[in-house]
Amino acid sequence: MTSINEQLTHEFQDALVKSFGENFKEVDPQVGLARDLRHGDYQANIALPLGKKLSKKPREIAQIIINNLSLDNICETPTIGGPGFINLKLKTSYLETQLKSLYNDQRLGIEKIKNFSKVIVDFSSPNIAKEMHVGHLRSTIIGDCIARTLEFLGYQILRLNHVGDWGTQFGMLITYLKEVYPDALTQPDALEIGDLVDFYKQSKKRFDEDKKFQEAAREAVVKLQSGDAESRKAWQLLCDQSRREFQQIYDRLEVKLTERGESFYNPYLDDVIQSLDAQEILEKDQGAQCVFLEGFTNKSGDPLPLIVQKSDGGYNYATTDLAALRYRIKEDEAKRIIYVTDAGQSNHFAQVFQVAKKANFLPDTIEVTHVPFGLVKGEDGKKLKTRSGETIKLKDLLDEAINYARKDLENRLQSEDRQESEDFINHVAQTVGISAVKYADLSQNRISDYIFSYDKMLALQGNTAPYMLYAYARIQSISREGNIDYENLGENRPIILEDKTEVELGKYLLQVSEIIKEVEKTLLPNRLCDYLYELSKKFNRFYENCPVLKSEEPLKTSRLLLCNLTARTLKLGLSLLGISVLERM
């Protein structure tokens, strides 16, 4: 189903050709939602930039375009506003027809892409031997939403978890555990994950302070990288234990990932160096192999290199990321690669992408995108931490959100004098708690930092998951109260828009495909959150102003159709955010 914006754009393109000739066939008519809804629903701004080109006043150009428009079935007579905006008000009859088409389409009018394309979304990426913390929350949730949205639109998605399972930290940890807890290197789960994390911290302290230990740790890394059987077994045990812990978090968040850690690319690192050397773009700087980059300088203004091989012969993150990029293009045959990491890594990826282009690893036909995000902060405006100054564990954060949701639900049930089963309370608390955490994150512009507050994210009013879930549950309560089967209302029954709030709701429902395509283009999930919040508000205004079950036919069925269409739209939008709906709250 073609969106309203696409239909209007097509008609304006035809009108531009009729008005000014074939040279204007590819000109963007700049059609979009009206900035001021008092003047119309959509507007076209093309007359203003054409003024200089055609040596005419924009309002004169606008009138010429209007004279060649064929919009009688879609809009009222277009009007000209301000310096030359073309304002368009949709006809109610057109809205009713479009809504009915939307209703009868299982995908709500959202077409799949026509050309098959493989996309890799690289997200989450925790480190082995460390617990997932609040810093991993944003990458995991934002990456999952992007993957879900692109998947729904028809892309073949490979969700990759680039875990930190290689490098110096394993040399440190293995060396330290040999001294203090050797069983952890030979037996599965000999330690609790929390104890393993503590040992990691202690090994890092020893590494920083003890030269002898530092040397032993580096030797352990060499043994591990060279395939020593004992070292590999110890490494595998540590990785397996961390993986199981990560999986518990992913299961709770309903996030699916394919793990392909740093170790996977180890066999390809030497080839990266050889390829860079063969193309004569490697330079030696203080014993390290580097690639000097354009646009990157140090504080003194000197060119800043990207180190790809350290002076001791070891590799680093940049080498691994170059190897991963080559593999994803050559072996995975990805056409688009999306990296979801914190904003602090923006320079790193800009450098890696520049080197990849310079080395011809990255053809112009492949799109690579870094999707940066800001910090999660506490209500004091500082980086979110425990009272003792530790980074908050993601497991503890989710537990606390569920506990908050449970207490809120129990208080509400008590005030309403409602009796519900323990299973119901557990299910609602789990769903609302996890959904609130996800939505609070996704509803912010990902580029910005955001303030984490349980009270705000669990509120039944405002731009929160509970508000959206409550709107959906309210629609389901209408079906229970009236003994209505939404699935059998009749495909041929008309949708009738009489009340102003019905018209507003109908117009907004028709924008869903444009919003999802915008998320595809911008990779900004908050655009979808804003849409769902506004949709919920418009539905609640409709519900307050328009009787549904007490209306006479054919208005009753029409309003039930609008209710169901709203519920389906909310359910789809929330599912793309990774949020499950509730039939009752």
**pLDDT tens for each residue of 77-121:** 999 999 999 999 999 999 999 999 999 999 999 999 988 789 999
pLDDT of residue 388: 60
- CATH for 525: 1.10.730.10
Assign 435 a pLDDT band (cuts: 50, 70, 90).
very high
Q: In this structure, what CATH number is given to the domain that contains residue 68?
A: 3.30.1360.70
Is the domain of 173 the same as that of 297? no
Q: Are residues 144 and 178 in the same domain?
A: no
- Is the pLDDT assigned to residue 386 strictly greater than 70? no
In a domain, 583, yes or no: no
Predicted confidence (pLDDT) at residue 390 exceeds the cutoff of 80: no
In a domain, 75, yes or no: yes
Same domain, 419 and 513: yes
d(CA 359, CA 278): 10
Q: What is the pLDDT of residues 147-175, one digit of tens each?
A: 999 999 999 999 999 999 988 888 999 99
546: left (phi over 0), alpha (psi -120 to 50) or beta: beta
- What total number of domains does the chain contain? 4
- Same-domain pairing of 269 and 338: yes
Over residues 426-454, mean pLDDT? 95
d(CA 471, CA 568): 12
* Under 8 Å between Cβ of 121 and 525: no
> In this structure, what token pair is assigned to residue 222?
């060499």
**Residues 137, 201 within the same domain:** no
Confidence band, pLDDT 50/70/90 cuts, at residue 550:
very high
For 326-340, what is each residue's pLDDT tens digit?
Answer: 999 999 999 999 999
pLDDT band with cut points at 50, 70 and 90 for residue 389: low
Highest mean pLDDT out of 442-451, 454-463, 568-577: 568-577
428/564 same-domain check: yes
Angle between helices 422-442 and 229-253 (to 10 degrees): 100
From 259, 293, 325, the end of a domain falls on 259
Q: What is the pLDDT of residue 379?
A: 84
Please state whether beta strands 303-309 and 288-297 pair in parallel, antiparallel, or not at all (unpaired).
antiparallel
Mean pLDDT of 360-384: 92
Q: Which domain holds residue 228?
A: 168-259
- The pLDDT value recorded for residue 101 is 95
Same-domain check for residues 469 and 554:
yes
Give phi and psi for 309, each to the nearest 5. Answer: -150, 120
Q: Is the pLDDT of residue 520 over 80?
A: yes
Say if residue 387's pLDDT is above 70: no
Domain end (from 376, 411, 432): 376
Is 105 domain-assigned? no
Please say which residue of 259, 283, 309 terminates a domain: 259
Residues 306 and 445 in one domain: no
Burial class (CB in 10 A: 0-12, 13-18, 19+), 79: middle
> Which conformational region is residue 328 in: left (phi greater than 0), alpha (psi within -120 to 50 degrees), or beta?
alpha
**How large a percentage of the chain has pLDDT more than 90?**
79
Q: Is residue 384 part of a domain?
A: no
CA distance linking residue 26 with residue 29, whole number of Å: 9
Q: What is the pLDDT of residue 130?
A: 86
Provide mean pLDDT across the span 430-457: 94
> Mean pLDDT for the chain?
93
CATH of the domain at 302: 3.40.50.620
For residues 480 and 334, state if they share a domain: no
pLDDT in tens, 478-505: 999 999 999 898 778 999 999 999 999 9
Same domain, 138 and 280: yes
**Structural domain includes residue 298:** yes
In a domain, 32, yes or no: yes
| Per-residue confidence (pLDDT) for residue 89, from 0 to 100 | 96
Q: Is 205 part of any domain?
A: yes
* Pick from 29-38, 54-63, 316-325, 568-577: least confident: 29-38
Whether residue 255 is found in the same domain as residue 327 = no
Span 221-249, mean pLDDT?
A: 90
Phi, psi of 404 (to 5 degrees): -60, -45
Residue 157, classed as helix, strand or coil, is strand
What pLDDT does residue 286 have? 87
Give the global pTM: 0.93
Q: Is the pLDDT of residue 523 over 80?
A: yes
> Does residue 96 belong to any structural domain of this protein?
no
Looking at the structure, tell me whether residues 445 and 529 fall in a common domain.
yes
Nearest to 531 by CA among 433, 452, 439: 439
